[in-house]
Amino acid sequence: MQLVDMKKRVLGNTGIQVSEIAFGGVEIGMPYGIGVENEKDMLSQSEAIYLLHTAIGEGVNFFDTARLYGESETIMGNAFKDRREKVILETKCRHLRDANGKLFPQGELTNFIEASLTESLHALQTDYIDVFMLHYGDEEILQREKIADTFLRLKKSGVIRATGVSVYTPQETSIAIDAGAWDVIQLPFNLMDQRQKVLFPMAAEKGIGIIIRSVLLKGLLSDRVRNLHPALVDVEQHIQRYSDLLGEAATDLPTLATKFALSFQEVSSVLVGIDRLDYLYKSIQAASGDSLYRETVSKANELAYPNPDFLNLHQWSLNNWLK
C-alpha cells in the first residue's frame, strides 16, 4: 500500500511519464557517499532488490543508473526482469575519454558508444533503454556531431526511446539545448546554486525534459550538517538562513530543497541517491503534499548563494574540508 500518491510528470516531448522522484542507483552499485568506505557498508544484492521493489510499490517508476556505477545495472536487471513494463530506465554510457582525459578518436566513438549500450542492455536484462545518456557532455563532446548522430541513430532504431546528456555548467546546458539532438538533460540545481534556472524556459521551448540532481548538494542541504570546516563558515551560515522559509508545506530543509526544485514546471523529476528504506520514504514524503507557496519560492529564489563558483565539493574534498 502506497504511503502517498506519487505524482508523475511528462519528460519533455518524449511522451514518457516519470515519477517526480527518480531513484538514483549509484549507491546500490558501488561504495559512494559519506560514511561508505567499502562493500561492507553497502546493501547486499537481495536487500537492494527489495529496496527497488519497494520503490515501485510506492509509485516510483523512474530509475537512474550507469555503466560506471559498479553493480548497479546488474542489480536493477535482476530486480526488474519480471516487471520491465513498470519502470522507466535511464542509464549512461561509459566516459568518452581515456585515463589521460583525451577524447577517443573520431573513428572509434560510434563503436565505443554502441558497445557500452550493448553492455547495459545485457546487464539490465532488457532489449531497450528508455533514456540513454552521455555520462558527461562537456563542451568539446557536445560539439562533436559524430556523437550526437550516433545517439540519434540508436533512437531511430528503437533500441533507445530518448537521448540524454548529463552536464555540469550552464554553458554546457546551453550548448546541449541548441544542439537539437538531446531529448533529456540532467543537470545540477539546488537552493544554493540556482545558475541553471535561467535556461529552463529555453529547454521547455525545445521540448527537452529536465532532470535535477544535487538537489541536497550532497547532503549539505540537510538537517545533519553541523560544524563545517572553518573555511566553509559562510556556507554554513547561509544554509541556516533557509530555516526562515520552513512552514507547513516544508517542515525540514530536505523537503524545502526538493519542493523548491519541483516548483519549476519545466522540471520533470528530481534525482535522489537512495540506499536505505528511510531515505526512500523521506524522499517520497518530501515530494508529496502541498506545494510551496509562491511567496516561499520567491524568497528562496532570492536566497541563492552569492558566489556559486565556490560551491565546488570536489575541490572541498581535495582540501580536506569535508570529513
**136 pLDDT more than 70:** yes
Say what the pLDDT of residue 37 is.
Answer: 67
> Whole domain around residue 45: which residue ranges?
8-318
Place of cell 514546471: 265
Backbone angle region of 19, left / alpha / beta, with phi > 0 → left and psi within -120 to 50 → alpha: beta
Half-sphere exposure of 86 (CA within 13 A, CB side): 16
d(CA 292, CA 171): 29
Grid cell at residue 49: 532488490
Q: Is residue 248 part of a domain?
A: yes
SS3 180: coil
**Residue 320 amino acid letter:** N
User: Does residue 280 carry a pLDDT above 70?
Assistant: yes
CB 186 within 8 A of CB 167: yes
Quote the pLDDT of residue 39.
77
Asked if pLDDT for residue 75 goes beyond 60, the answer is yes
Query: Beta strands 21-24 and 8-10: pairing type?
Result: unpaired
Given this model, what pLDDT does residue 289 score? 85
Residues in CB range of 261: below 8 A, 6 or more apart: 189, 190, 212, 215, 267, 270
Residue from 42, 52, 20 nearest 211 by CA: 20
The pLDDT score that the predictor gives to residue 227 is 81
Structural domain includes residue 133 = yes
Task: For residue 141, give the amino acid letter.
Answer: I
Residue 174 domain flag: yes
- Sequence-ordered alpha helix ranges (H) in the chain: 26-29, 45-57, 72-80, 106-124, 139-142, 145-157, 170-179, 200-205, 233-240, 253-262, 277-287, 294-302, 313-318
CA dihedral sign of residues 188, 236, 41, 1: negative
Q: What is the mean pLDDT of residues 119-141?
A: 97
The confidence score (pLDDT) of residue 5 equals 79
For residue 3, tell me if it sits in a domain: no
| Amino acid sitting at position 302 | E
Q: Is the Cα dihedral 222, 87, 52, 132 positive or negative?
A: negative
Higher pLDDT, 114 or 314: 114
User: Which is nearest to 196 in space by CA: 308, 87, 48, 286?
Assistant: 308
How large is the average pLDDT for residues 68-81?
97
Give the pLDDT of residue 42. Answer: 83
What is the model's pLDDT at position 296? 96
Q: Is 52 part of a structural domain of the chain?
A: yes
Distance CA(38)–CA(190), nearest Å, equals 28
Per-residue pLDDT reduced to its tens digit, 291-306: 999 999 999 999 999 9
In a domain, residue 323? The reply is: no
Strands 17-19 and 8-10 come out as antiparallel
Residue 48: CATH number of its domain:
3.20.20.100
Residue 194's pLDDT is what?
A: 98
Residue 33, pLDDT above cutoff 80: no
* Helix axes of 294-302 and 253-262: crossing angle, nearest 10 degrees: 100
Q: Judge whether 305 lies within some domain.
A: yes
pLDDT digits over 150-198, tens only? 999 999 999 999 999 999 999 999 999 999 999 999 999 999 999 999 9
Name which of 7, 290, 265, 16 is nearest 162 in CA terms. 16
Indicate the residue type of 145. Answer: E
* Three-class secondary structure of residue 31 per DSSP: coil
How do residues 197-254 score in pLDDT, each as one tens digit? 999 999 999 999 999 999 999 889 987 667 889 999 999 999 999 999 999 899 999 9
Q: Please give the Cα distance from 119 to 95 (Å, whole number).
A: 14
The count of domains in the chain is 1
Q: What is the pLDDT of residue 225?
A: 62
Q: Which residues are registered as beta bridge partners of 91?
A: 132
Q: pLDDT at residue 312 above 80? A: yes
d(CA 90, CA 86) in angstroms, rounded, equals 13
pLDDT at 29: 93
pLDDT at 1 over 60: no
Q: Is residue 1 part of a domain?
A: no
Q: Is the pLDDT of residue 93 over 60?
A: yes
Can you give the pLDDT at residue 94? 96
Q: What is the per-residue pLDDT for 34?
A: 61
What mean pLDDT value characterizes the chain?
94
Cα angle, residue 235 at apex, residues 230 and 241 outer, rounded to 5°: 130
